[in-house]
Copies of this chain bind each other. A is one copy, B any other.
């Protein structure tokens, strides 16, 4: 069985679009999905990369490009009122959810809350609401995301991705070897999974 690792950060709109394609890829390829929360801000800092919108013309183009992909996929997307927003607590939340065996449901709920519902996940109110939607106790969840071992796990994921060559999001690895970057490489990912 082929293995697909998916490094994600909720702040990335192209990762939201890619995440919506994951179930189809898993079903068609029969791969094992290993979804890994990481912190894109840390990846950017470590690699010297910068968000596309730092180049104004690229940022302006990106919004139209996102809209075309969303229409192709039949996925709703709207830019959050604050962008980029601080995704650090939400990413720690994904680590916590993983320990409760609810990574998948939390990931999907959080991406949808941000990119379809416009919920602010940099606030405890917003994040608690998503935890609740994912079947987690909000108070326990909000306490857990402040724990050092949770912070350390997210940092370790981020460092591992960088060591393996990542510089942006989403980043995919097929069978621990070939790396793919971007929603627009999902067709290559699926080809690699088919071997």
Contact = CB atoms under 8 A, between A and B. Distances in A.
Interface in A36-80: 47-49, 54-58, 60-61, 64-65, 68
A61 B181 contact: yes
Contacts of A168: 58
A10 interface: no
Contact of A47 (B49, B55, B64, B68): B55
B56 A165 contact: no
A139 interface: no
B49 A55 contact: yes
A83 interface: no
Interface size class on chain A is 20 to 34
Given A47-B56, A56-B48, A68 B165 contact: no
A167 B184 CA distance: 19
A58 B68 contact: no
Contacts of A49: 55, 57-58
Contacts of A57: 47, 49, 162, 165-167
Interface of A: 47-49, 54-58, 60-61, 64-65, 68, 162, 165-168, 178-179, 181, 184-185, 188
Which 3 pairs show the lowest CB-CB distances between chains A and B? A57-B167, A47-B57, A49-B55
Given A47-B58, A49-B55, A49-B57, 6 more contacts: A48-B55, A55-B167, A57-B165, A60-B165, A65-B185, A68-B188
